[in-house]
Amino acid sequence: MAPPLIRDPGNHYTRINPETVVMALQATTARTETPSPGLAAAMRVNSILQTTLDIHTVIRLFANELSDLVNYGGLQYRNPAYSLEINHGKNARHSCSYRLVVHEEALGELTLSRRRKFTDAEMHLCEDFLCGLVYPLRNALLYLSAVQAAHRDPLTGVGNRAAFDLAIGREVEMARRHGTPLSLLILDIDRFKAINDTHGHLAGDDVIKAFTAVVDGVIRKTDILFRYGGEEFAVLLSNTARHGAELLAERIRRRIERSPFESSQDRVPVTASIGVANLEPTDSTTSLFEKTDQALYRAKHEGRNCVRVAPLSC
């Protein structure tokens, strides 16, 4: 039987070959002799990991099972394509890393670390054990991709209304738990119907995409932008109080007003109205959204191209 993994001793990266992984797992059931401890454990963990499609659970279960075989201090899984970084334990000085690839599909990178070096025997054991991870991991990533696609606006690439509904519930819960401020912005492109009527719907799509890019260039990395629907957008501002949210909203408004929006060599004048509100002790996710929406209505009713902040509750 061919070795299930091919190790590059120069950098300790391992590329998993799908054919040999299948051979390794199937051969252990076909031959009469006792499989190696690593492959036997791989078969066991493969069955365990196939009970879930949640990527965080897959990595957690794998980390727990591996700890029974190899003593390590920290385990890190990274997959930049999915913006994933999952950590268990604490990173240490010495590490061994595995680049996971199946059918030319990159599944990310897994790194183990501890205070002392890993022995060759331990690395071989890890490599055998990884045979049980790759296919459940690929299934979890496929599921994650489907979920992300269902929560992504196809025109702009930012989160859609479904993603917003999930995120605002999560952010309100986190703000309550940690006692941190939370604010919400709702932005509406002024007179967007007139833009479509004057310049055409393709130009309207161009404006939507350019508008998204402008707003995304102003907000912080910790802020989350959504296309709530049509020409309406929402921005969740974690750890941001009322005054800071108002300042950011005004900065966004000015940037939009001053930015060149063009389509088919035509310049399209674009402004936005913005409503702002912050989470108060009596607020629910619904009431936070409603008072932000009411502030947006005031901004549009009072002349557009302005920022209005929801009043504080008495």
Q: Annotated catalytic sites, by residue?
A: 231
Q: Which are the contacts of 195, defined by CB distance < 8 A and separation ≥ 6?
A: 189, 203, 204, 207, 268, 270
CB 123 within 8 A of CB 96: yes
Side-chain-side CA neighbours of residue 39 (13 Å): 19
Distance of CA 71 to the CA centre of its chain: 30
Q: How many CB atoms sit inside 10 A of residue 149's CB?
A: 9
Nearest partner of 49 among 150, 108, 129, judged by Cα: 129
Task: Please list, residue by residue across 191-213, b when 16 or more beta carbons sit within 10 angstroms of its beta carbon and e when fewer do.
Answer: bbeebbeebeeebbebbbebbbe
Q: Looking at this protein, which amino acid is placed at residue 134?
A: V
User: What H or E segment, with its residue span, contains residue 230?
Assistant: none
